């Protein structure tokens, strides 16, 4: 059943996958300068994974096909699982394609081995997994509205933070948030060369994805179609 669901999504949305190739080519081209941030690949991969799975869920909503999908002989939990598998697979494929392009383009200063080192691959999975785990519950429960709402809420929070910072001249919260995120990512990337720590991160990622999946199953199970 899972295979049938993945076939359905690939059959129904091929342009989502092929249409992204030019974008990856552009990312690969943007990496041609010496010192360009290779971490951009991981960001793009995470974005692709979460965006692909969420967009497909939102398209089901747009075509009012959610009811049709739910009337097929598939448990809702398998429907949810297929979205997670698709999200992680799309993110991984995006990373592989972008990395290959970045390494193989004639002017690229990066070798494939430099891009595909264990730390970068692990980091890509952390970004892909986190993006999928955060975005999918909202997308599956509330459809397109959920995705837009989540981004809108993040934007409002950001604008609110910026407003507080600039109005009261108190820049600490802004620095604190972005500074923490930045230093956290850098520290994580640096420590991923430690095999024990990498295993711990992989386990934490698996737990987060599992918890997100269970939450999505619960939310989708309660959804009246």
- Taking the complex as a whole, the smallest distance from the CB of residue 76 to another protein amounts, in Å, to 8
Report in angstroms how near the CB of residue 223 gets to another protein at its nearest: 9
Question: With contact defined as beta carbons under 8 Å apart, do 91 and 48 qualify?
Answer: yes
Nearer to another protein, 62 or 171 (CB): 62
- Report the nearest approach of another protein to the CB of residue 112 (Å): 36
Report the chain's C-alpha Rg in angstroms.
Answer: 19
Asked if residues 46 and 127 have their Cβ atoms less than 8 Å apart, the reply is yes
Query: Which is closer to another protein, CB of 167 or CB of 222?
Result: 222
As a whole number of angstroms, the distance between CA 88 and CA 210 comes to 13
Contacts (Cβ under 8 Å, ≥6 apart) of 100: 112
Q: Are 34 and 114 in contact, with CB atoms under 8 Å apart?
A: no
Residue 179 CA to residue 189 CA, distance in Å, equals 15
Contact in structure between 5 and 82 (CB atoms under 8 Å): yes
Beta carbon nearer to another protein, 124 or 140: 140
- State which residue, 64 or 167, has the beta carbon closest to another protein: 64
- Name the site residues for another protein (rule: CB under 8 A): 1, 4, 7-8, 11-12, 63-65, 67-68, 70-76, 221-222, 224-225
- Which tokens sit at 156? 């409002």
Smallest gap from Cβ 67 to another protein, in A, equals 6
**CA–CA gap between residue 55 and residue 37 (Å, rounded):** 27
Q: Which residue has the tokens 């965006």?
A: 51
Q: For residues 66 and 108, which CB has a smaller minimum distance to another protein in the complex?
A: 66
For residue 71, the minimal CB distance to another protein (Å) is 5
Considering the complex, what minimum distance in angstroms separates the CB of residue 74 from another protein?
6
Which of 7/210 has CB closer to another protein?
Answer: 7
State the sign of the Cα–Cα–Cα–Cα dihedral 53, 135, 46, 22: positive
């Amino acid at each position: 059943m899972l295979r049938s669901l993945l076939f359905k999504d690939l059959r129904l949305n091929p342009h989502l996958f092929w249409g992204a190739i030019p974008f990856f080519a552009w990312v690969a081209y943007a990496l041609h300068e010496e010192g360009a941030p290779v971490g951009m690949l991981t960001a793009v991969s995470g974005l692709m994974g979460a965006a692909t799975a969420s967009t497909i869920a939102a398209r089901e909503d747009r075509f009012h096909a959610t009811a049709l999908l739910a009337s097929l002989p598939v448990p809702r939990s398998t429907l949810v699982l297929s979205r997670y598998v698709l999200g992680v697979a799309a993110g991984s494929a995006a990373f592989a394609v972008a990395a290959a392009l970045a390494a193989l383009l004639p002017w690229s200063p990066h070798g494939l081995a430099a891009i595909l080192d264990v730390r970068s691959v692990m980091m890509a999975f952390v970004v892909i997994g986190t993006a999928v785990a955060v975005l999918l519950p909202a997308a599956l429960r509330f459809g397109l509205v959920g995705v837009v709402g989540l981004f809108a809420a993040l934007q409002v929070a950001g604008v609110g933070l910026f407003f507080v910072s600039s109005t009261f001249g108190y820049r600490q919260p802004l620095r604190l948030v972005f500074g923490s995120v930045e230093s956290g990512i850098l520290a994580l990337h640096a420590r991923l060369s430690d095999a024990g720590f990498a295993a711990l991160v992989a386990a934490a990622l698996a737990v987060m994805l599992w918890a997100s999946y269970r939450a999505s199953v619960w939310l989708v199970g309660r959804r009246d179609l």
